[in-house]
Each structure stands twice: as C-alpha cells, then as structure tokens.
Amino acid sequence: MTSSTTAAISAATPDDIVIQINTINQLFNAPEINPFSDKPIDVAGESALTRMVRQLLSRYMQKSEGTRLIIQMPADQITPGLQTKTAEAVRRYADAKIKDNKLNIRVSRRVGLIELLVACAVAMVALVVTTAVLAGPLAGLSETLRGFILGFVSILAWVLLWNPLDKLLFAWIEPRERIAILRKIKSMDIVIEPQTEN
C-alpha cells in the first residue's frame, strides 16, 4: 500500500472511495449511532472500513485498478505522519481480516462436513425404518397414503441435508469475496485530506 501527501483537497474520481470521519479512530471503530449527523458512518454507527468493504462488495465485478481511499477529516485531526501510519494500520487490519475469513471458511467446511455425515446417517435410518414399517405393520395402507408418508419422510430427510450442503457448497463464497476486497484495499493509495466546510 502506498500513500501520498496532499496539502490541498484532492479531486476525487468516480472510482475513488471517499470516507468522511471525525477522528482517525473511526476508520476502525464504530462510533455511537447519531442520526442527526451528516456523516453516513455516524448515522449507521459503523466503522468506516466496514462501510468501505460493503461498498466494494457492491461493485465487486467492476474494475478497481486506480481506486484510492480518500479520508476526509477535520484539519486539526491531521497530524504529521498520520497518512503513513494509517496506511500501515489499514494493511495490518486487512491482513488480520483476511486470516479471519480464511479461518471462517475452514471452520464452516469442517462443521458442514460433520453435519452432513450426521444428517446422512439420520436420513438413511429414517428412510429405512419408514420403508420397513410401511412394508410390515402398515402394509395394509393404500398406495396413496403409503406414498404420502414416504414422500413426507423424504422431504424431512432433504431438509436435514440442506443446511450442511449449504455450508459446504455456498458458505465460502462471501468470505472469499471479502478476502479479494481486503487484498484490493491493501493495494490502494491512501489520501488523507482536510474536509471541506459545509
């Protein structure tokens, strides 16, 4: 990640991410909810980087080369070296979140696999028992009623299998997208500039 020093307000492009904060702490930590503020992060009560990741996810497929992170804050909050320190902090934040998302993917796959094995066993037992009961004690039932009972148990078995399959097949997608976004954030130029007065 690189950074550049600006003495004046930079001309933001449509590809840039512009964040307005009161203190550099709000880049990482959520402020208290304040619906009377004119800053989106105050109104939503979320950290600026959390909001930024969501913005980038919303345009995930769009070209992101050259996108800058422009942080606007009160001039009295901008101290010498803040831009460089912020770039390093954002890089550490992104690295930590990347590791966290990778861990979430591994845990989700492991839990999903265990749940799938248990669900398969339960579903198999339920189907075998139902089939045996229908062929034995309930053999006198009509074909329609027997088919209804067997179909109902089959649906229950599928419901048992769905959540584990969802974890194995789909739960990794969002964390993987977040990892890609966080890697983009690491490579962005960061510009800290004084915010304009309304």
Helix (H) and strand (E) counts in the chain: 5, 3
Residues 89 and 189: beta-carbon distance below 8 Å: no
The gap between the terminal CA atoms of the chain, to the nearest Å, is 31
Residues 47 and 40: beta-carbon distance below 8 Å: no
In the chain, where the domains are located: 17-95+185-194, 104-177
- pTM over 0.85? The answer is no
DSSP letter (8 states) at residue 75: G
Q: Digits of tens for pLDDT over the chain (198 positions)?
A: 444 434 344 566 777 888 889 999 999 998 888 888 887 788 888 888 988 888 787 765 555 567 788 999 999 999 999 999 999 999 999 999 999 999 999 999 999 999 999 999 988 888 888 888 777 777 777 778 877 888 888 888 888 899 899 988 899 998 999 999 999 899 889 999 998 765
CA-wise closest residue to 195 among 6, 29, 68: 6
Per-residue CA distances from 113 to 46, 51, 154 (Å): 34, 32, 21
